[in-house]
């Protein structure tokens, strides 16, 4: 039994199947590389969980490690390439990773994390230090024969920031995993993706997110992909024009940056090849979404959800123009949307309340190695929340209005303030602290710290405290600003009403 790439190498021998900003590969080359990655991983001691991790920036090699791992029957852990060595070590330990892939930018942190976590095998591309096995040399030692495909496929293990200071692991949910009893069946299922009819795929987001990772999985459906590095608005337009891109996954921050380009720059590039842009990460501002539809046409599909459960609501451009601001109807099966009051009773249409979903499969949210957190996400078996406040109209369209969880969504990245708070509280000049999300015109939200100084007459500078935090935590998780305050409004139980703390900042936006 041959893999998809072998067949496509015969059918489309001259097509560039995958390219990034420095390299390009035809289907026959991809067949050989993926076979070698899979066979190389089969030769490693991966343990019962067969976990490998990919800690690297966007590149063809990142796609090869992810998809080759899947073909080898591995559970691949995509790791945020912004993380510190300590943060990566926790993920490696918690996941039980046995092999770590890195690139030149992440290698130093990756090696330190692997040493701390006891991961013996580190493989990397680019300018990597001694102690890292060079990816190309490693490939050269492996067989290019078709690997065994009669083994069970394993879903990714994804990590999101932690509500209590540690990341949470969650398997790629069934709604996003093609299933199958064997890797061969799984690849066949991926080959049936409706995305195959939408043309060439463009990867613009970081490939540790599930959406951008689809560029690797779509290869199995015969969809060629172009991978870009860190986001550049004009380069994105140029790529859409040059390679006649048909589909992509973006977040609202991408739209804001694209719209900010000068009109003459926007007019230079032809985007008529676009058939579908899925956008995720956060609710898109109405004016931004409308402007993008006017520019690119009704090609946008809002996929609202989370890594833990996949897409829970969806709305097309045509529906959105009828119901501006909505994130759509629940994707049924398996989900049913419900708006509940504080006592978990349903509220009438048009009434604001807490947004919950019922998963008809009963699965709901499952966190790796943490049954308590899994239980805390539910009010009944299979009935869970993503922490949003919303209302639903008579037709079942959901409108997000606020958040009752602490989570902050900045540029499509989920940030849990507890991580920064647990670092900041140890600063010698900080008595108490709370972090909240405040409006940001480009990123949607940014993290702000409100802190009580130990010495009210002589507090340290905000810049000093933020820099102190950035030395100990990934920069994107740290507050961008800090205000000294007299009180955080803790109640008698010591809890803070963060919605009340956020309100003055959001009221200023009108």
Q: Can you give the pLDDT at residue 9? A: 95
Pairing of strands 444-453, 378-380: unpaired
Q: Are 20 and 229 in contact (CB under 8 A)?
A: yes
Domains of the chain and CATH, by start: 4-182+208-217 (3.40.50.980), 231-403 (3.40.50.12780), 408-507 (3.30.300.30)
Q: What is the pLDDT of residue 73?
A: 97
The predicted structure's pLDDT at residue 422: 87
Say whether pLDDT at 163 is over 80. no
Whether the pLDDT of residue 161 is over 60: the answer is yes
* 139's tokens: 């490939």
What is the structure's pLDDT at 508?
A: 65
Structure tokens at 329: 């109807």
Residue 173 pLDDT class (50, 70, 90 cuts): very high
State the Cα–Cα distance between residues 398 and 354, nearest whole angstrom: 11
Calculate what percentage of the chain has a pLDDT beyond 90. 84
Q: Given this model, what pLDDT does residue 509 score?
A: 59
Q: Determine the 3-state secondary structure of 313 from DSSP.
A: strand
Contact 304, 412 (CB under 8 A): no
Q: Can you tell me the distance from the alpha carbon of 106 to that of 121, in angstroms, rounded to the nearest whole number? A: 15
- Chain segment 255-282, per-residue pLDDT in tens: 999 999 999 999 999 999 999 999 987 7
Q: What are phi and psi of 484, to 5 degrees?
A: -80, 130
Distance CA 226, CA 245 (A): 8
Q: pLDDT digit string (tens) for 175-234?
A: 999 999 999 999 999 999 898 899 999 999 999 998 888 888 999 999 999 999 999 999
Q: How many Å separate Cα 102 from the centre of its chain?
A: 18
Give me the pLDDT at residue 1, please.
38
At 319-336, the pLDDT tens digits run: 999 999 999 999 999 999
Confidence (pLDDT) at 165: 61
Using CA atoms, how far apart are residues 9 and 242, in angstroms rounded to an integer? 23
Q: Taking Cα atoms as reference points, which of 380, 284, 283, 282 lies closest to residue 338? A: 380
Residue 166 banded pLDDT, cuts 50, 70, 90: confident
DSSP conformation letters of 423-468 = HHTTSTTEEEEEEEEEEETTTEEEEEEEEEESSTTSPPPHHHHHHH
Q: List own/partner pairs for 331-340 with CB under 8 A and 24 or more apart.
A: 331/175, 332/360, 333/360, 334/175, 334/359, 334/360, 334/361, 335/309, 335/359, 335/360, 336/360, 337/312, 337/313, 337/392, 337/396, 337/398, 338/383, 339/390, 339/391, 339/392, 340/379
The mean pLDDT value for 242-257 works out to 95
Region 27-42: mean pLDDT is 97
Percent of the chain with pLDDT over 70: 98
Give the chain's radius of gyration (CA, Å): 23
Tell me the per-residue pLDDT of 102-142, one tens digit each, with 9 for 90 and over.
999 999 999 999 999 999 999 999 999 988 999 999 999 99
| 299: helix, strand or coil | coil
For 451-472, the pLDDT digits (tens) are 999 999 999 999 999 999 999 9
Question: Nearest Cα to 480, choosing from 463, 505, 500, 502?
Answer: 463
Between 1 and 36, the more confident residue is 36
| pLDDT above 60 for 59 | yes
- Which residues sit opposite 146 in a β-bridge? none
Question: What pairing do the DSSP bridges indicate for beta strands 24-26 and 16-19?
Answer: antiparallel
| pLDDT for residue 164 is more than 80 | no
Q: What pLDDT was estimated at residue 493?
A: 60
b/e per residue, 103-125, with b = 16+ CB within 10 A? bbebbebbbebbeebebebbbbb
Residue 492 has pLDDT above 70, yes or no: no
| CB-CB contact of 373 with 340 (8 Å) | no
Closest C-alpha among 375, 404, 372, 373 to residue 387 = 404
Residue 494 scores a pLDDT above 80? no
Residue 339: pLDDT band by 50, 70, 90 thresholds?
A: very high
Exposure of 266 in the CB half-sphere (CA atoms within 13 A) = 14
Residue 308's contacts (CB-CB under 8 Å, 6 or more residues apart) are 160, 170, 173, 365, 366, 367, 377
Under the banding of pLDDT at 50, 70 and 90, the label for residue 407 is: confident
d(CA 334, CA 328): 15
| pLDDT mean across residues, the chain | 94
**Coil, helix or strand at residue 327:** coil
Instruction: Give, in degrees to the nearest 5, the angle at Cα 57 between 223 and 212.
Output: 35
């Amino acid at each position: 039994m041959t893999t998809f790439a072998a067949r496509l190498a015969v059918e489309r021998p001259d097509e560039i199947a995958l390219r990034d900003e420095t390299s390009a590969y035809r289907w026959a080359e991809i067949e050989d590389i993926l076979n070698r990655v899979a066979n190389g991983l089969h030769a490693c001691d991966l343990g019962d969980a067969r976990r490998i991790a990919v800690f690297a920036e966007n590149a063809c090699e990142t796609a090869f490690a992810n998809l080759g791992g899947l073909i080898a029957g591995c559970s691949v852990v995509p790791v945020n390439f912004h993380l510190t060595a300590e943060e990566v070590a926790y993920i490696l330990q918690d996941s039980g990773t046995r092999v770590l892939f890195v690139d030149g930018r992440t290698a130093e942190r990756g090696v330190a994390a692997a040493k701390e976590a006891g991961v013996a095998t580190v493989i990397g591309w680019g300018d990597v230090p001694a102690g890292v096995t060079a990816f190309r040399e490693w490939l050269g030692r492996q067989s290019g024969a078709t690997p065994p495909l009669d083994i069970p496929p394993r879903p990714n293990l994804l990590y999101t920031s932690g509500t209590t200071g540690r990341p949470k692991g969650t398997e790629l949910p069934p709604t996003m995993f093609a299933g199958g009893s064997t890797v061969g069946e799984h690849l066949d299922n991926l080959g049936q993706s409706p995305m195959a009819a939408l043309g060439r795929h463009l990867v613009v987001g970081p490939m540790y997110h599930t959406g951008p990772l689809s560029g690797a999985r779509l290869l199995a459906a015969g969809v060629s992909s172009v991978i870009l590095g860190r986001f550049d608005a004009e380069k994105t337009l140029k790529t859409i024009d040059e390679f006649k891109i048909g589909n992509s996954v973006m977040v609202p921050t991408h739209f804001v940056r694209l719209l900010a380009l000068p009109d003459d720059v926007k007019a230079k590039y032809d985007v008529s090849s676009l058939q579908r842009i899925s956008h995720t990460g956060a609710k898109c501002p109405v004016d931004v979404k409308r402007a993008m539809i006017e520019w690119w046409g009704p090609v946008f599909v809002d996929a609202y959800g989370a890594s833990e459960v996949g897409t829970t609501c969806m709305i097309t451009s045509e529906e959105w123009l009828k119901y501006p601001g909505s994130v759509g109807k629940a994707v049924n099966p398996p989900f049913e949307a419900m708006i509940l009051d504080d006592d978990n009773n349903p509220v009438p249409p048009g009434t604001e309340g807490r947004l919950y979903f019922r998963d008809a499969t009963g699965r709901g949210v499952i966190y790796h190695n943490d049954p308590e957190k899994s239980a805390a996400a539910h009010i009944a078996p299979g009935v869970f929340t993503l922490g949003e406040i919303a209302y639903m109209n008579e037709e079942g369209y959901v409108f997000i209005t606020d958040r009752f969880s602490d989570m902050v969504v900045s540029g499509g990245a989920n940030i849990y303030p507890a991580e920064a708070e647990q670092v900041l509280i140890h600063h010698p000049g900080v008595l108490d602290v709370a972090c909240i999300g405040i409006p940001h015109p480009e990123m949607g939200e940014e993290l702000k710290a409100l802190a009580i100084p130990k010495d009210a007459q002589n507090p340290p500078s905000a810049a000093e405290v933020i820099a102190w935090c950035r030395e100990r935590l990934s920069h994107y998780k740290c507050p961008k600003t800090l205000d000294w305050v007299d009180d955080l409004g803790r109640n008698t139980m010591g809890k803070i009403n963060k919605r009340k703390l956020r309100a003055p900042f959001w009221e200023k936006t009108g």
